Structure 1
């Protein structure tokens, strides 16, 4: 998926609510999300072709996201 519109994703914010305005950081985030979106779509379509339930595929993808952890979090 080729990036075309920089406003297609969220405005990126820090924990304090301030906006990440560095053009290069925003570009990298958007490109990463474009790649992830394409990979998720490919995975979803492969599952459908293998006759996996669409709802189960979506539930599994949501669970994957819910399992992400922040390795940089201060404890």
Structure 2
């Protein structure tokens, strides 16, 4: 399945325009995608259900914490 990274946006909704920033963001998301794909394949080969590993990956993403979030927002 093909994956196209999103158009990266700032908190005000305007697109990120710096080519180097976009390159880093796209590389990071592709690396995470490949690791998640590998984890899914391993889990299925190790007799876990696809649904279970997908839920675990969703739960992991949902547990991430933004250390830069401003107080009150």
TM-score normalized with structure 1 length: 0.87
Aligned pair count?
Answer: 68
Local SS of the residue matching 2:39: helix
Note if 1:16 corresponds to 2:12.
yes
Highest relative contact order (Cα 8 Å, sep 6+), 1 or 2? Answer: 1
Partner residue in 2 for 1:53: 49
Q: Which runs of 5+ in 1 are unaligned?
A: 1-7
Q: Which runs of 5+ in 2 are unaligned?
A: none
Query: After the TM superposition, which segments of 4 or more aligned residues of structure 1 sit over 2 Å from their partners?
Result: none
Q: Distance in 2 between matches of 1:68 and 1:14?
A: 19
Q: Offset of 1:18 from its aligned partner?
A: 1.0
